[in-house]
A and B are shown apart, each in its own frame.
Chain A
Amino acid sequence: MAQPITETHGSDLRRRFEKSKFQGLVWAIARTLLLLGMAFIIVSPLLVKISGSFMSLEDVYDSSVGWIPRRPTLEHYRVVFQFMNYPRSLLLTTLLVTAVSLLQVISCTFIGYGLARYDFPFKGLVFGCVLFTLVVPPQLLLVPLYINFRYFGAFGMGPGVNLLNTPLPFLLMAGTGTGIKNGLFIYIMRQYFKGMPRSLEEAAHVDGAGPFRTFFSIMLPAAQAPLLVIFVLSFAWQWNDYFYTTTIFQAKNDLLVHRYLGVVQDYMLAFREEHGFDAPFEMSTMILNTASLYYIVPLLALFGFLQGRFIAGIERTGLVG
């Protein structure tokens, strides 16, 4: 009597198991297709740029040429390299952005640690100010900041010092945790230190280390994961910034972002002088396209180098509470 029951029960289970296995397979395929499609949308602008940068002008006119250039050329790379003054602009930009982002990382960590670990009057107000800097759009501060640095230290009274076209405005703002999106970095570091056990500091205190010694030799090394995260974000955002950079460096145009934004104009002018007529419109887009590769490749290389630790770091920053 018991025999048939277990048999049907068994086959029912097997059927259910096979059904769920089938469903799992369908879902895995659907998921793969979805992710591939979305990944394509993300990567396609980059692929378009790379493919376009090797195309000769004939390939652009030829509608039968798709993604793969038929008459590949390195001409655009050569021309743009010259017009962007690449070695010099790359060096200057790298120096500026590295200095600014390192300063930002140090100052934001320092400030975030103070907010996480110490009690002092008006602490809530200070933290509120940190968050407030994030809400105010940079457009609002652009003109006054420009004038502030043009007549620095004068407060509207006298001539002051002109800090425009020097890196000082960036360094001053980075050093005080008020650079691009620095409020976010302070917030991340505060959350991270809040989640750390106090035993490390207590041990350091027993061993006779003062608060700053403890911060620099114990807490900073222990916070490597979020430090890397804010370094990468700060570097990428500073590298990509044109809003502040083109305003502060209005008269000089040695930086990568200037050369990139001005490369088409420079090229068209030079072409006109040499040939007496305008370069074809398509040529200007090819130049701009190749210039944008020159502009982002250093950044992509850095991110490619650090991505593993970066992604792992985000999961450990304590952003989640």
Chain B
Amino acid sequence: MDTRRALTGIVFVLPFVIGFIAFFLYPFILSLMFSFSDVSVGASGYELTSVGLENYESALLVHESYVRTLTETVQSMLANVPAILIFSLFVAVLLNQPFRGRGVARVVFFLPVIFNCGAVLLIENYDFLTNTLTGGSAASPGSEIVTSLFYGLKLPQGVLGYIMNAVRAVPDIIKASGIQILVFLAGLQSVPESLYEASAIEGATGWETFWKVTFPIISPLIPTMIVYTVIDSFTAPNNRMMELIQNTAFRGMGYGVSSAMAWIYFVVIAAILAFVVWLVSKWVFYQE
């Protein structure tokens, strides 16, 4: 290792190292300390009094809605992530086909990333006008038709229930898929044309070509996209956990309990992420 080059490299990443320590690691450790303390803030600084596990007890046993919000957040994430991935892969395949207006379609599917996040989404859920104009059915026109269609198929109860929930969540799923669609689309365009030609000569159908050619090549993108989608859904602004933790800190039981809540949440996320990554990395096909 060339010392001069190593020094130059360190200069390049130095801003991040400083920022990481000052605005990430320090608050990270502080938050862990807060979660075990009673925090009182005054004009001359803040004081910590150790209270052991009391904050965790308050969050889990005393707070009236924390446990329910936590289970609901995790449940809706577990239901939505597979749906978002399948949906965005499907749309990417559609948008990869040549047709008129493809450029416009790509822009439209990316729009939610720009305008359907943050403060606008935060208020959307409570908007009376949206409900009146779209007939109140969670802004999902035609969902009744799809529902009756699937009832006719006589599927097992569990599968049917999942599909029903997915249909009801269609608008949310579409809006959460912008980045994933673009990444899958870029992946699809990197599939060499010669492979498609070869499979066409061999007489493969479109379905076979997708599973034998396209899917193995883009499958290395799937773990990254799963991780991205899980994180995105955990930190989405319409996620009620975000609101609950912020309200607890500034208007509720205080900084200590709020930190304990955030830590329980983080540990749950980390456990789920680790499990999902382990599971997915077992069957993904790597080209290298």
Question: Which residues on A are within 8 Å of B, measured CB to CB?
Answer: 28, 31-32, 34-35, 37-46, 48-49, 51-52, 60, 66-67, 107, 110-111, 113-115, 117-121, 123, 126, 129-130, 133-148, 150-151, 154-160, 172-173, 175-178, 186, 211, 215, 233, 236-237, 239-243, 247, 257, 260-261, 281-282, 285-286, 288-289, 292, 295-296, 299-300, 303, 307-308, 311, 314-315, 317, 319-321
Contact = CB atoms under 8 A, between A and B. Distances in A.
Contact of B6 (A49, A121, A146, A155): A121
A38 B141 CA distance: 10
Contacts of B30: 144, 147-148
Given A142-B246, A160-B45, A114 B241 contact: no
Interface of B: 1-2, 5-13, 15-20, 22-24, 26-28, 30-31, 34, 39, 41, 43-46, 48, 91, 94, 97, 99, 103, 105-120, 122-124, 127-130, 132-134, 139-142, 170-171, 174-175, 182-183, 185-187, 189-190, 220-221, 231, 234-235, 237, 241-242, 245-246, 249-250, 255, 258-259, 261-263, 265-266, 269-270, 273
B120 A140 contact: no
A197 B178 CA distance: 30
Determine the main DSSP class of A at the interface with B.
Answer: helix
Contact of B1 (A28, A31, A120, A311): A120
A9 to B, nearest CB: 17
B15 A300 contact: no
Given A119-B1, A285-B129, A314 B28 contact: no
B190 A320 contact: yes
A176 B22 contact: yes
Contacts of A295: 119-120
B140 A257 contact: no
A46 B91 CA distance: 21
Contacts of B171: 41
20 contacts: A38-B109, A41-B171, A45-B139, A49-B129, A66-B133, A121-B6, A129-B24, A138-B235, A139-B265, A140-B31, A156-B45, A158-B45, A159-B43, A176-B20, A233-B113, A242-B237, A243-B242, A243-B246, A299-B114, A314-B183
Given A42-B108, A156-B46, A144 B31 contact: yes
A247 B246 contact: yes
Contacts of B117: 236-237, 240
B24 A159 contact: no
Contact of A139 (B15, B108, B262): B262
A285 B139 contact: no
Contacts of B249: 142-143, 146
A178 to B, nearest CB: 4
Given A177-B19, A257-B119, A236 B114 contact: yes
A176 B45 contact: no
A117 B109 contact: no
A111 B15 CA distance: 7
The 4 closest A-B pairs by CB, nearest first: A176-B19, A114-B12, A118-B9, A240-B118
Task: Indicate the member of B48, B123, B250 with the most A CB atoms within 10 Å.
Answer: B123
Given A121-B6, A176-B15, A292 B120 contact: yes
A262 to B, nearest CB: 11
Given A137-B269, A243-B237, A119 B27 contact: no
Contact of B186 (A35, A142, A319): A319
Contact of A135 (B190, B220, B250, B269): B269
Contacts of B1: 119-121
Contacts of B41: 147, 150
B115 A296 contact: yes
Given A299-B115, A303-B111, 17 more contacts: A41-B140, A44-B139, A45-B116, A139-B265, A140-B31, A140-B262, A141-B27, A142-B246, A143-B31, A143-B249, A144-B30, A151-B45, A156-B48, A236-B114, A303-B114, A320-B187, A320-B190
A111 B112 contact: no
